[in-house]
Amino acid sequence: MVDKEDKDNTIRIKVNADSSSDIVINTEHMQKVAKSIEMINRSFSDIAGAALENINLNLQQLDEIAQNFHDRLEAMTVSAREYYPSLQAAVANVNSAGWPIGVNFDHDVIISCSNLESPEINKRLTEFYTKNNYNELFQELDLIIENMSGGYREQIKSVKAILKNNINDFTAVMPTLYSLIDYSYNLALGRNQTASYARIGLIRADAKKSEEDNLIGLYEILATSTYKILLEHFSYHSFEPGVDETDFSRGTVMHGRYNPDRMSKQQLIQIVLLLSAVQVLG
């Protein structure tokens, strides 16, 4: 049985004859609870509405971002179609003069060599790398050092120190640079912990695989360039002509079959650039 007692805004529910078991409910408290629930419902409704509005706004912004990305990608694609063929042709011409393309290459300088003959390419690139006390050459060496570790890092740092102290001592570091090219080549291809070394047959196979991978863009251009120069330096060159007539190559230098008196600063620069280029293969 339920009794309402207006004097204190309570509802008393009798459970049995014994009043000690009655349930007493304060109606004022119930009204407050009801209002609180109503406010919570409104808050949830407001939050849900705000969240939905925010989601719609974010979706709109994402759509704008996606459209902007599409427009930029399309513009980049058009630019790449114009950029890469001209760079590829210039790099090929530079390679034909025996020059590798280092990681820190200057685009404008390479493009400027597009229609030059080998003697002019040699002159332009040698001037570029020797200006300001060989600043560009030492920048390449700094990048090479960053990508080396352990004893190899210390070795290339010693090479830099020798050249910094007296660039005319460059003939002393040429065999070391060739050795580091061999090491870096195997490291880049994941073979540094195997018995493999940079021999002509392996380089040819790697070059063919790289070509078959159909890579697109700048990496393809640089990889093709690097393999071309690697093949020239690591292919067989006869010792028969004698130290004053042999070709400049890894084999003739490492086996003492190339007279150091014949070595040039141009050759030094080319070997440093080849080491730089080899580090990013793989």
The CA distance from 49 to 46, in Å, is 5
Q: Where are the alpha helices (DSSP H) in the chain?
A: 27-96, 107-111, 118-146, 150-165, 174-188, 200-212, 218-234, 250-254, 265-278
Ranges in the chain, pLDDT < 70: 1-52, 56, 58-59, 61-82, 194-198, 214-216, 282
Q: For 192-237, what is each residue's pLDDT tens digit?
A: 776 666 677 888 888 888 887 766 678 888 999 999 999 999 999 9
pLDDT given at position 201: 82
pLDDT given at position 55: 72
Task: State pTM to two decimals.
Answer: 0.71
pLDDT given at position 53: 72
At residue 26, the 3 state secondary structure works out as: strand
